[in-house]
């Protein structure tokens, strides 16, 4: 069987999510090719060729693919699928945008956000915000799968796959890119960070997130938030960790003023170590935390930062 993995990249760097998706694909068994669709993709293709276990790297280089919008991605992937039995992509916003489109064109039911691969046709995926895990077997001839990358280890590097350029996608398309407004930050990306510190409704205001900023700086951590904090307008939506936001699995997750609603736990419970600071000792977050500190965060956070300073951070 032949499996196509669609790469996560920004036209200059290949993202780790690609390596993790390759691991998921390898578990299905068969040959794994990686597709780089974008603009000016030569460098990214060279990076992808190094991933262990990759047979070929396919490249499509066209202006309409710079932002990987849905229609252009459909135009690239659907014709390719005559040669593949499955297509996998990370479940980030880029790929969530077009994968259902590819699935419908192939008359296939998409299998979304899988956290386990049992065989070439059987997958485990969270439902109900991760309150239940469903094992599903696809009866479709081809499989269209998005991958919850936090559940898979990254494939190593050391390979040297051959590459091949594909024809440009056929337009015109009925949507166009206008612009973007990306949060500027020197901090690591939320989904790739080794340490994440998140604030919840207990932070009280957006202004108070300054209290965790100093700690994030000391630890080189990414900053996140619960849905409650986003709903309250404290911080932007792309900070959101949880069922309706991002799934993260850092080595250390620090939850501050977060009660631990199911929807939040769904996005962070795969973290290696969880620490929680909350003044309510009955908060559900303490049921999943390895280290819990029952304290008023307005007192505990400055102390925590001072202790880190003392410890040389």
Partner 1 sequence: MKVLVPVKRVLDYNVKARVKSDNSGVDLANVKMSMNPFDEISVEQAVKMKESGAASEAVVVSIGPAKAQETIRTGLAMGMDRGIHVTTDEDLEPLAIAKILKAICDEESPELVILGKQAIDNDYGATGGMLAALMDWPIGSAANSMELAGSDLTVVKEVDGGLQTVKLQTPAIVTTDLRLNEPRYASLPNIMKAKKKPIDAKTPADYGVDTKPRLKTLKVTEPEARKAGIKVEDAAQLVDKLKNEAGVI
Tokens of 171: 């337009």
Q: Out of 37, 222, 223, 289, name the contact with partner 1 by CB under 8 A.
A: 289
Place of tokens 């400055």: 302
Please report, as residue ranges, which positions from 226 to 245 form the binding site for partner 1 (by CB under 8 A): 227, 230-231, 236-238, 243-244
Query: Contact, 263 vs 201, CB < 8 A?
Result: no
Sheet of 2-6, strand order: 111-114, 143-147, 86-90, 2-6, 31-38, 54-61, 162-165
Task: Please give the residues from 85 up to 114 whose contact with partner 1 meets the rule CB under 8 A.
Answer: 92-94, 96-105, 107-113
Q: Decide the pairing of beta strands 116-117 and 122-127.
A: antiparallel
Mark residues 134-173: x for contact with partner 1 by CB under 8 A, - for none: xxxxxxx--------------------------------x
- Cβ atoms within 10 Å of 62's Cβ, excluding its own: 18
CB of 198 to partner 1, least distance (A): 15
C-alpha 25/C-alpha 91 separation (Å) is 14
Site mask, partner 1, residues 176-215, x = CB under 8 A? xxxxxxxx-----x-x---x--------------------
**Among residues 59 and 130, whose Cβ is nearest to partner 1?**
130
Q: Does 291 bind partner 1 (CB under 8 A)?
A: yes
Contact letters for partner 1, residues 16-55 (x by CB under 8 A): ----------------------------------------
Using alpha carbons, list the distances in angstroms from residue 187 to 84, 91, 147, 193.
38, 22, 25, 9
């Amino acid at each position: 069987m032949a499996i196509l993995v669609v790469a996560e990249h920004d036209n200059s760097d290949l993202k780790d999510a690609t390596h993790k998706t390759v691991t998921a694909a390898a578990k299905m068994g068969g040959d794994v090719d990686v597709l780089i669709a974008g603009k000016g993709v030569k460098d990214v293709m060279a990076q992808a060729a190094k991933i262990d276990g990759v047979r070929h790297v396919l490249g499509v280089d066209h202006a309409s693919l710079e932002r990987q919008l849905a229609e252009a991605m459909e135009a690239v992937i659907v014709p390719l699928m005559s040669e593949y039995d499955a297509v996998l992509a990370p479940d980030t916003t880029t790929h969530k945008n077009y994968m259902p489109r590819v699935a419908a064109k192939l008359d296939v039911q998409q299998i979304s956000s899988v956290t386990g691969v049992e065989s070439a046709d059987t997958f485990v995926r969270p439902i109900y915000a991760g309150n239940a895990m469903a094992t599903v077997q696809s009866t479709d001839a081809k499989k269209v799968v998005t991958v919850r990358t936090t559940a898979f280890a990254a494939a190593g590097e050391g390979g040297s796959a051959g590459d091949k350029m594909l024809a440009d996608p056929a337009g015109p398309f009925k949507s166009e890119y206008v612009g973007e407004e990306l949060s500027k930050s020197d901090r690591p990306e939320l989904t790739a960070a080794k340490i994440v510190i998140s604030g919840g409704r207990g932070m009280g205001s957006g202004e108070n997130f300054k209290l965790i900023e100093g700690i994030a700086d000391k630890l080189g951590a990414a900053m996140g938030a619960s849905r409650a904090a986003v709903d309250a307008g404290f911080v932007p939506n792309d900070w959101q960790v949880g069922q309706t936001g991002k799934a993260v699995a850092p080595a250390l997750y620090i939850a501050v003023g977060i009660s631990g609603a199911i929807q939040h736990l769904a996005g962070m419970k795969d973290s290696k170590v969880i620490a929680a600071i909350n003044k309510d000792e009955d908060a559900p977050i303490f049921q999943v935390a390895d280290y819990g500190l029952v304290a008023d965060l307005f007192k505990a956070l400055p102390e925590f930062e001072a202790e880190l300073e003392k410890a040389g951070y």
